[in-house]
């Protein structure tokens, strides 16, 4: 890693992954320096983080909070900016070594593309970037010195299992899923579950959006697409396996019949620590280490595609390619937001995604502008469907 500290940009610093990334930066003050912090609208937390971490710059994406943040940091030499163009500009700063992309949803795309253009090391926590535009990102990475390191625990596991292996020796990826809060809830009851029920995740403490994605298992569908692009493996060679204890973070099966797994406690600090240590070291930590009891009763089962239809939707979208996953993601963002506001039923999330995908025009080889247009179009369609369902409910 050399003697100089790595300057890190944390996009989405006030979210769950962002806050845990700042923990890791603070854990290794000799190695890392928070150079840029970006938040969407959590102004007070951003101000607090800025005072603690003393970055060169902070950006509050939502312009209505700009003056508030600027005034609050007036007595410091921290630069304050606002707007999404400022984010895409700031990540290209030559001082920045690593960009951690931990913002929620589609909003991660533009700044990730800018960071690739500037040849940055990217610790990718925003899986929607690869769901929406994996094909484009894959193409851009081929023409760039930029590298993507996964922060998602499952993809961190694949990465670790694949160190020293040849991709042509891989038979399949086994993507583990906790099964979410509704794994043992009967299918019929899913009609009436509330946002509060869905927000009680058994193992992982995460943001609201990903917790709902975990309850519908859309998150696992997204992660399948994320793995498809990160490791260049076809969707049909990625198998989802439910593992309720979340100790096995994923596995790789090889053509000689061997299987490698990566295990650890369900704590996002671990994959973040691993990603920030790449490519050359593991960062020793005083974190709680796994015991025999932690792994004494691990179980694995097949996922229920009938009860969680979005798993099948994700495979279909991945096989179709083009703008299909972008449309799926946009509809999901709208549907999840509506569910969190108690506007629609849990099972309406599937309906909105399926109907939006049926209606939206498809493009097989989209450009960046096409993704932007497809995202906007799908969001409009999905919002209309929300209104219709709300009226009927």
CB of 154 to Mg ion, least distance (A): 5
How many residues sit close enough to Mg ion to count as binding (CB under 5 A)?
3
Alpha-helix runs per DSSP H in 261-367: 269-277, 310-320, 324-340, 348-359
Q: Of the candidates 73, 72, 62, which has an alpha carbon nearest to the alpha carbon of residue 38?
A: 62
- How is the beta sheet containing 238-242 ordered, strand by strand? 238-242, 170-177, 248-254, 259-263
Cβ nearer to Mg ion, comparing 153 with 216: 153
Residue nearest to Mg ion (CB): 152
CB of 55 to Mg ion, least distance (A): 27
Torsion angles phi and psi, residue 220, rounded to 5: -70, -35
Of residues 180-209, those binding Mg ion (CB under 5 A): none
Q: Of the candidates 317, 319, 349, 334, which has an alpha carbon nearest to the alpha carbon of residue 382?
A: 334
Cβ nearer to Mg ion, comparing 222 with 315: 222
CB of 383 to Mg ion, least distance (A): 27
Cβ nearer to Mg ion, comparing 176 with 356: 176
Q: Of the candidates 304, 140, 62, which has an alpha carbon nearest to the alpha carbon of residue 122?
A: 140
Cβ nearer to Mg ion, comparing 55 with 271: 271
Per-residue contact string for residues 135-164; x = within reach of Mg ion by CB under 5 A = -----------------xxx----------
CB of 152 to Mg ion, least distance (A): 4
Cβ nearer to Mg ion, comparing 204 with 305: 204
Instruction: Quote the CA–CA distance of 18 and 103 in Å, as a whole number.
Output: 8
Of residues 299-338, those binding Mg ion (CB under 5 A): none
CB of 207 to Mg ion, least distance (A): 12
Cβ nearer to Mg ion, comparing 152 with 377: 152
Identify whether the C-beta of residue 202 lies closer than 8 Å to the C-beta of residue 154: no
Identify whether the C-beta of residue 195 lies closer than 8 Å to the C-beta of residue 339: yes
The C-alpha R_g of the chain, in whole angstroms, comes to 20
CB of 223 to Mg ion, least distance (A): 5
Instruction: By CB under 5 A, name the binding residues for Mg ion.
Output: 152-154
């Amino acid at each position: 890693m050399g003697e100089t500290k790595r300057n890190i940009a944390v996009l989405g610093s006030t979210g769950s992954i962002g806050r845990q990334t700042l923990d890791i930066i603070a854990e290794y003050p000799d190695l890392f320096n928070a150079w840029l912090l970006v938040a969407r609208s959590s102004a007070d937390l951003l101000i607090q983080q800025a005072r603690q971490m003393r970055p060169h710059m902070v950006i509050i994406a939502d312009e209505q909070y700009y003056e508030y943040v600027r005034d609050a940091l007036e007595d410091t030499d921290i630069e304050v900016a606002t707007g999404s163009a400022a984010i895409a500009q700031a990540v290209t700063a030559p001082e920045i070594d690593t960009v951690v992309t931990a913002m929620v949803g589609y909003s991660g795309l533009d700044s990730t593309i800018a960071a690739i253009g500037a040849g940055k090391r990217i610790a990718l926590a925003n899986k929607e970037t690869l769901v929406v535009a994996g094909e484009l990102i894959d193409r851009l990475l081929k023409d760039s010195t930029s590298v993507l390191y996964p922060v998602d625990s499952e993809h961190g596991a694949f990465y670790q299992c694949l160190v020293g292996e040849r991709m042509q020796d891989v038979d399949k990826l086994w993507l583990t899923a906790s099964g979410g809060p509704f794994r043992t809830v009967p299918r019929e009851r899913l009609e009436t579950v509330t946002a509060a029920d869905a927000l009680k995740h058994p193992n992982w403490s995460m943001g609201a959006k990903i917790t709902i994605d975990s309850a519908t298992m859309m998150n696992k569908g997204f992660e399948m697409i994320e793995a498809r692009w990160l490791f260049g493996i076809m969707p049909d060679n990625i198998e989802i396996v439910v593992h309720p204890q979340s100790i096995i973070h994923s596995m790789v099966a090889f053509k000689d019949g061997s299987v490698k797994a990566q295990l650890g406690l369900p704590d996002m600090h671990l994959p973040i620590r691993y990603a920030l240590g790449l490519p050359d070291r593991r960062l020793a930590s005083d974190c709680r280490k796994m015991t025999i009891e932690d792994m004494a009763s691990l179980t694995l089962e097949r996922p229920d595609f009938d009860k969680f239809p979005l798993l099948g939707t994700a495979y279909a979208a991945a096989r179709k390619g083009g703008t299909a996953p972008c449309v799926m993601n946009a509809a999901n963002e709208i549907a999840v937001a509506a569910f969190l506001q108690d506007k629609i039923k849990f099972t309406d999330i599937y309906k909105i995604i399926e109907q939006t995908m049926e209606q939206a025009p498809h493009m097989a080889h989209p450009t960046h502008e096409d993704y932007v247009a497809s995202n906007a179009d799908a969001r409009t369609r999905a919002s209309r469907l929300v209104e219709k369902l709300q009226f009927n409910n």
